[in-house]
Structure 1
Amino acid sequence: MKITVVGAGAIGGLFGSFLCKSGEEVTFVDINREHVAAIQAAGLIIERQSGTEVLTVKATTNIEEAGTPDLIIFSVKAYDNQQAAEDCLKIVGPDTIVLTVQNGVGNVETLSAVLGAGRIIAGTTAFGCTVLGPGRIKPSETGSISIGELDGRITPRLERVVAAFTKAGVEMHTSQNVDSLIWTKLLVNVGINPLGAITLLTNGQLLEHEETKSLQAAAVAEGAAVAKAKGIEFMTENILEHVRGVARGTYNNKASMRQDVERGSRTEVLAINGAIVAEGQKLGIPTPVNETLTKLVKAIEKRGKI
């Protein structure tokens, strides 16, 4: 397949590297000129426990240079969705698929409004990844990807995308309920990301303090109440224990929102905890903990880099 990665940072870079290794034709597109220049000069550098891997790949800041792809991996930050989706209009063909595994909710709706719901495949990933610097990423050692069609069908194009990742050795799952996938991952982010950003603790360390454990439980409970009111079921029976299992399993990881505040970058808190608040307001469900966490993270954003 001819593949364009739109947003070639942490997860975009990692997914693109998988597809490069499976023999697909991949172009990385990113608005960060320094990052793109580094990839052009020295390749995409992937730091693993087993050693450093360097991939020679095509990278550009001009999306039109990518040509018309079979698949777009859409992995920009949620607040850049609208502009990035409009940029994708410059390259999509009649059969181009758009895959999003972004954090938060609202991503599918924005992409569908701009690019058409019929193009979209959505899902989640259990991989973590950190941008160490321009052209350099460090992924988690383990992970998986779960994706599905919005209407729940298992289609030939879905199987084609799964096969491309599987060929690179990635653990892949298909889902007939992407809303459940997305909201289960949303609650993981609700319970880990803002607390990591505010306290600067690792994911696992959040479980070692009664204060952060209590806040985590309250934030997740509010999110679960909103999901229940929307008729959304989770992929697990006990969502709080699932969140804590993820935190334990990624003990040393810095949450992506923590990485953002450490860089002085804008976060995705409005698409995560802020989304719980917004949905709660529509449904008449109080979400004071998520509202407080959202405001604290936004205040930290305004402070800038530590």
Structure 2
Amino acid sequence: MEIAVIGSGAMGSLYGGTLAEAGHDVTLVDVWEEHVRTIEESGLRLTDDDGERAIPVRATTDPGTVSPPDLALVFVKSTQTDVALDGARPLLDERVDVLSLQNGLGNAEDIAGYVPERNVVAGVTTHGATLEGPGRVFHAGSGPTRIGRYFVDDDDRVDAIAGAFTAAGLPTTVSDAIRDDIWEKVLVNVGINAPTALARVENGALARTQEGRRVVEAAVHEAVAVARHEGCTIRDDIVDHVVDVAERTGTNASSMLQDVRAGRETEVERIHGAVVRRAARHDLAVPVNRTLADLVRLAQGA
């Protein structure tokens, strides 16, 4: 399968490198010149349970040099989806399936501005990765991935993508309720990301303390009401699930906490901000999420 990875940071490099190692024709596309140059010169160095190895894979900063692939895999930060796809227009045509495994809400809708809706595939993954430096990725955690067509019914091409990922060591299933799956991951992000970023604590603090659990419960319950108004089916034990995720990833610093610490733009607009905007469409009050979003905006602008 010919695959272009748009946004080849930690997760994009993990997926792209793993798929290249399995024999697929992969090109990593990223704006970080040193990262791309290092991969081109000495391969992508991936560290996981099997140790460290260098994986030969093409990389470029210029999407215009990439022919339209079978699959474009989008891993840029969700706030950059539109900009990244606008720059990647040369490799997108009506035959290319485009898969988003990004955080947050609205990515599939953005992608549909560049390819037909029938080509949009969305998904969620529980894999974790850390970019340790130019051309160096650490596979921090493994887990299942679920994908599905966002606007139309699934088909053999989606089955083929899932099969290719699974054969490469990235276990993937096709979901017939991918919008519910995306919302469930958003609810996990709602409960963990802004609270940890603002309190400057690791995920486990939310599970260990009464204060943490109260914030999780308040934020998640608000967002569940929005999801259900949008027609999604949400598990009844979702708060317990979020707390369990926080406990299982207890020593992790959430991506939003990492961004705030580094002075980078966060994905708050696609998580808590998106919940606030969608709540307004349904005349729902979400004061906790509104406050969390405003405080993160202040923190990232400081």
The normalised TM-score by structure 2 is 0.95
- Given the alignment of the two structures, is residue 256 of structure 1 paired with residue 294 of structure 2, yes or no? no
Paired residues of 2:129 and 2:141 also in contact (CA < 8 A): no
Paired residues of 2:79 and 2:267 also in contact (CA < 8 A): yes
- CA offsets, 1:235-287, max 9 Å, x none? x3311111112222222222111121222211100100111111111111111
Please state how far the C-alpha of 1:223 moved relative to its aligned partner: 0.3
Report what 1:32 is aligned to: 32
Please state how far the C-alpha of 1:108 moved relative to its aligned partner: 0.7
CA distance in 2, matches of 1:113, 1:152: 16
Letter matched to residue 244 of structure 2? G
Paired residues of 2:201 and 2:253 also in contact (CA < 8 A): yes
1:15-94 matched pairs, under 5 angstroms: 15-94=15-94
CA distance in 1, matches of 2:106, 2:151: 17
Report what 1:246 is aligned to: 245
Change (3 A) 1:134 1:196: farther
Please state how far the C-alpha of 1:41 moved relative to its aligned partner: 2.9
Report what 1:286 is aligned to: 285
Q: How many residue pairs are counted as aligned between the two chains?
A: 302
Paired residues of 1:105 and 1:275 also in contact (CA < 8 A): yes
CA distance in 2, matches of 1:185, 1:141: 16
Q: Which runs of 5+ in 2 are unaligned?
A: none
Paired residues of 2:72 and 2:96 also in contact (CA < 8 A): yes
Paired residues of 1:85 and 1:115 also in contact (CA < 8 A): no
Paired residues of 1:77 and 1:102 also in contact (CA < 8 A): yes
Report what 1:119 is aligned to: 119
CA distance in 2, matches of 1:49, 1:25: 24
Report what 1:266 is aligned to: 265
Letter matched to residue 95 of structure 1? R
Report what 1:158 is aligned to: 158
Report what 2:208 is aligned to: 208
Please state how far the C-alpha of 1:113 moved relative to its aligned partner: 2.1
Letter matched to residue 123 of structure 1? G
Change (3 A) 1:270 1:232: same
Indicate the SS of the match to 2:91.
Answer: coil
Please state how far the C-alpha of 1:231 moved relative to its aligned partner: 1.7
Give % identity: 36
Q: Which runs of 5+ in 1 are unaligned?
A: none
The normalised TM-score by structure 1 is 0.94
Paired residues of 1:73 and 1:100 also in contact (CA < 8 A): yes
Please state how far the C-alpha of 1:81 moved relative to its aligned partner: 1.2
Letter matched to residue 146 of structure 1? R
CA distance in 2, matches of 1:200, 1:161: 38
CA distance in 1, matches of 2:134, 2:252: 20
CA distance in 2, matches of 1:201, 1:239: 22
Please state how far the C-alpha of 1:205 moved relative to its aligned partner: 2.5
Paired residues of 1:100 and 1:121 also in contact (CA < 8 A): yes
Letter matched to residue 241 of structure 2? H
Report what 1:187 is aligned to: 187
Please state how far the C-alpha of 1:200 moved relative to its aligned partner: 2.5
Letter matched to residue 275 of structure 1? A
Please state how far the C-alpha of 1:132 moved relative to its aligned partner: 1.9
Letter matched to residue 238 of structure 1? D
Report what 1:13 is aligned to: 13
Paired residues of 1:69 and 1:93 also in contact (CA < 8 A): no
- CA offsets, 1:19-40, max 9 Å, x none? 1122101000011222222222
Letter matched to residue 205 of structure 1? A
Letter matched to residue 166 of structure 1? T
Paired residues of 1:152 and 1:175 also in contact (CA < 8 A): no
- Structure 1 residues 109-118 or 24-33, which shifts more? 109-118
Paired residues of 2:45 and 2:54 also in contact (CA < 8 A): yes
- CA offsets, 1:203-234, max 9 Å, x none? 22321122222111111011001112222112
CA distance in 2, matches of 1:290, 1:41: 45
Report what 1:135 is aligned to: 135
Indicate the SS of the match to 1:12.
Answer: helix
Paired residues of 1:151 and 1:176 also in contact (CA < 8 A): no
The runs of 4+ residues in structure 1 deviating greater than 4 Å are none
CA distance in 2, matches of 1:200, 1:277: 23
Letter matched to residue 238 of structure 2? I
- Two-structure CA RMSD over aligned residues (Å): 1.5
Change (3 A) 1:302 1:213: same
- Structure 1 residues 71-80 or 33-42, which shifts more? 33-42
CA distance in 1, matches of 2:133, 2:241: 31
